[in-house]
A and B are shown apart, each in its own frame.
Chain A
Amino acid sequence: MTDAAVLSIRNASKTFGDRRALDSVSLDVARGEMIALIGPSGSGKSTLLRSISALQTIDPGPGVITAFDGPVQKDGKIDSNVRQTRTRIGMIFQQFNLVGRLSLFTNVALGSLGRISFWRAALGMWPQETRLATMAALHRFGVSDYASQRANTLSGGQQQRGAIARALVQKAKIILADEPVASLDPVSARRVMDILRELNRNDGLTVVVTLHQVDYALRYCDRVVALKAGKVVYDGPASGLKTEQLIDIYGPEFEDVFWEGAPK
């Protein structure tokens, strides 16, 4: 792990049945980077992100995942201090993963769970600091009008902005976004990507985002990491990604299905 690195993945493998979702993946993420993880369905993008936040274990063996200075998991076991590490990593999901019957406000305030006292957290007695931070985050992303509404009454774009607000209340230093725009209409998708980019540029957050749409990856991210069948097949600047490589990653149908703009 270099000085500036906030995430380090070494030799991480993950097998589901007889399918290799991750095949000895190694990756370093430096502070302040905005990285796109691309690759076809089943290439291991989501598995990699979920392993970094220890929502799942990697296979026992030499694999080690480190975030900041603390281990997240190694040898197939999740570290016992993982909750401390998780508080500094905000996770954004394709299906938003807000709790539908709770208000948007409560959902965003949940970001403070790891920080405030156990019983206050259990009873939902949010401290003033959490309340202010929650409203500030909702206001910043233009959804403060819906604070008292149940999350499941909101549109996908509004929910996803709420989910990002939760990461902000969490005071996350890293944001892991797993297909954050795959369930959104193009306008909402662009808005969410703009927010992630802004958090990266203005707030100095490190962002790792898995994307289905290659053109988003090229437009919003400086560095692209491509996975194919669980292996890293490209890791470098977005501008260095050539059409031939993309065809190699996605298969010959790539140009028909995904093409919206040629890489610069």
Chain B
Amino acid sequence: MSSVIATPVPPPPSRTLLQRAPDLLLWGGVFVLLAIAFGPAEIRKIPLLLSNSANMREMGQGFTHPDFTDWKLYVAQMWLTVQIAIWGTSIAVLAAVPLSLLASRNITPWYIQRPVRFFLDMVRSAPDLVLGMIFLVAVGPGPLAGVLALSINTSGVLAKLFSEAVESIDRGPVEGVRATGAAKLHEINWGVIPQVAPLWTSYALYRFESNSRSATVLGLIGAGGIGQVLFDSLNAFAYSRTAAIVLVIIVAVSLIDMLSQAIRSRLL
């Protein structure tokens, strides 16, 4: 040990100004952006939240007396929204499985993987609402437009998440399967899928949760379900009915969250 003591203890690591420059630039940039966006985002109007208290009070009164006379309609429409989410998510999962494998670096050669990734980025960048509008024109107003809008966006998101799961697998078991003389499809089926199955299921359930919320919003533009009822009652300033609808949505979405969380925690 004497040789260790003989040399002087080196000083703790320090960073020069040049090394810190990227950090400073990044933080400076963030603050400059916030300052520029202050005006256009109308942040200075925040006090309106309090000064417009008359409107808020009226709405608040409605909300303290929810009107559940039409509860059967609300529950039926909520169920419709959930069914839109179920089909939208399921179609997306079916599309995401092959797409994600094609988008994974460790499975697919780069000249296929890169274009598929790019395609997925494009698909993901289209918001549900815009897709919803397009499908409203294509298939007419109603739930199917909502299903299609959800499935396109969700398949982009899920394919990306699925492929990240595939890229982080342990390659050992895959090599174990490959060494038996298995075909590529068998390697995927027996070496890859069992490793990613819990994560994939978890992601799919999570997207189902968030799709139940998105499907509500899609109702606002005419894709059917509880969102449409909510939109109509808000337009009629019927705050008591709106309150009842909001409560139905909150309860339903919370139930779905709890259910899927329970399933997910058992999976992992």
A residues at B contact (CB < 8 Å) = 53, 55, 83-91, 93, 95-102, 106, 110-115, 118, 121-122, 124, 163, 166, 170
Summed over the interface, the residue pairs from A and B with CB atoms below 8 Å come to a total of: 82
Tell me if B176 and A163 are in contact (CB < 8 A).
yes
The one of B180, B189, B191 that contacts A111, using a Cβ cutoff of 8 Å = B180
A95 to B180, CA, bound (A): 16
Q: List 16 A-B contacts (CB under 8 A).
A: A55-B175, A83-B181, A97-B175, A97-B176, A99-B173, A99-B177, A99-B194, A102-B190, A110-B190, A113-B180, A114-B182, A118-B185, A121-B183, A122-B189, A166-B176, A170-B180
Find chain B residues with CB under 8 A from A113 CB: 177, 180-183, 186, 190
Asked if B195 CB lies within 8 Å of chain A CBs, one says yes
Tell me if B172 and A93 are in contact (CB < 8 A).
yes
Asked if B179 CB lies within 8 Å of chain A CBs, one says yes
Asked if B178 CB lies within 8 Å of chain A CBs, one says yes
Find chain A residues with CB under 8 A from B191 CB: 99
Q: Shortest CB–CB separation between residue B213 and chain A, in angstroms?
A: 31
Find chain A residues with CB under 8 A from B198 CB: 101
A90 to B176, CA, bound (A): 9
A88 to B189, CA, bound (A): 21
Asked if B221 CB lies within 8 Å of chain A CBs, one says no
Q: Shortest CB–CB separation between residue B264 and chain A, in angstroms?
A: 16
Find chain A residues with CB under 8 A from B173 CB: 97-100
Q: Which are the 8 A-B pairs with shortest beta-carbon distances?
A: A114-B181, A97-B176, A87-B181, A91-B179, A86-B181, A113-B182, A97-B172, A99-B173
Find chain B residues with CB under 8 A from A53 CB: 179
| Max chain A Cβ within 10 angstroms of own Cβ: one of B176, B186, B198 | B176
A87 to B172, CA, bound (A): 18
The one of B178, B182, B197 that contacts A101, using a Cβ cutoff of 8 Å = B197
Q: Shortest CB–CB separation between residue B136 and chain A, in angstroms?
A: 40
Q: Given that A86-B181, A101-B194 are contacting pairs, would A91 and B186 also be in contact in the complex, using a CB cutoff of 8 Å?
A: no
Q: Which residues in chain B, 155-178, are within 8 Å of chain A measured between CB atoms?
A: 172-173, 175-178
Find chain B residues with CB under 8 A from A115 CB: 181
Tell me if B195 and A100 are in contact (CB < 8 A).
yes
Find chain A residues with CB under 8 A from B189 CB: 122
Tell me if B194 and A55 are in contact (CB < 8 A).
no
Q: Given that A83-B181, A122-B186 are contacting pairs, would A93 and B176 also be in contact in the complex, using a CB cutoff of 8 Å?
A: yes
Chain B 179-220 near chain A by CB (<8 Å), digits 1 or 0? 111110110011100110110000000000000000000000
Tell me if B176 and A83 are in contact (CB < 8 A).
no
Q: Shortest CB–CB separation between residue B71 and chain A, in angstroms?
A: 44
Find chain A residues with CB under 8 A from B197 CB: 101
| Max chain B Cβ within 10 angstroms of own Cβ: one of A85, A102, A163, A170 | A102
Tell me if A83 and B183 are in contact (CB < 8 A).
yes
A53 to B194, CA, bound (A): 24
A199 to B161, CA, bound (A): 44
A121 to B184, CA, bound (A): 12
Tell me if B172 and A114 are in contact (CB < 8 A).
no
Tell me if B182 and A98 are in contact (CB < 8 A).
no
A93 to B173, CA, bound (A): 10
A261 to B178, CA, bound (A): 38
Tell me if B190 and A84 are in contact (CB < 8 A).
no
Q: Shortest CB–CB separation between residue A118 and chain B, in angstroms?
A: 7
Find chain A residues with CB under 8 A from B175 CB: 55, 91, 93, 97
Which residue of chain A has the shortest Cβ distance to B172 in the bound complex? A97
A111 to B180, CA, bound (A): 6
Which residue of chain B has the shortest Cβ distance to A85 in the bound complex? B181
Find chain B residues with CB under 8 A from A88 CB: 181
Q: Shortest CB–CB separation between residue B178 and chain A, in angstroms?
A: 7
Tell me if B180 and A55 are in contact (CB < 8 A).
no
Q: Shortest CB–CB separation between residue A200 and chain B, in angstroms?
A: 19
| Max chain A Cβ within 10 angstroms of own Cβ: one of B190, B195, B197 | B190
Find chain B residues with CB under 8 A from A91 CB: 175-176, 179
The one of A85, A86, A121 that contacts B178, using a Cβ cutoff of 8 Å = A86
Q: Given that A93-B172, A99-B190, A100-B195 are contacting pairs, would A110 and B177 also be in contact in the complex, using a CB cutoff of 8 Å?
A: yes
Q: Shortest CB–CB separation between residue B172 and chain A, in angstroms?
A: 4
Tell me if A98 and B176 are in contact (CB < 8 A).
yes
A86 to B178, CA, bound (A): 8
A88 to B181, CA, bound (A): 8
Other A-B pairs beyond A91-B176, A113-B182, A122-B189, 8, CB < 8 Å: A83-B182, A98-B173, A98-B176, A99-B177, A99-B195, A101-B195, A111-B180, A114-B180
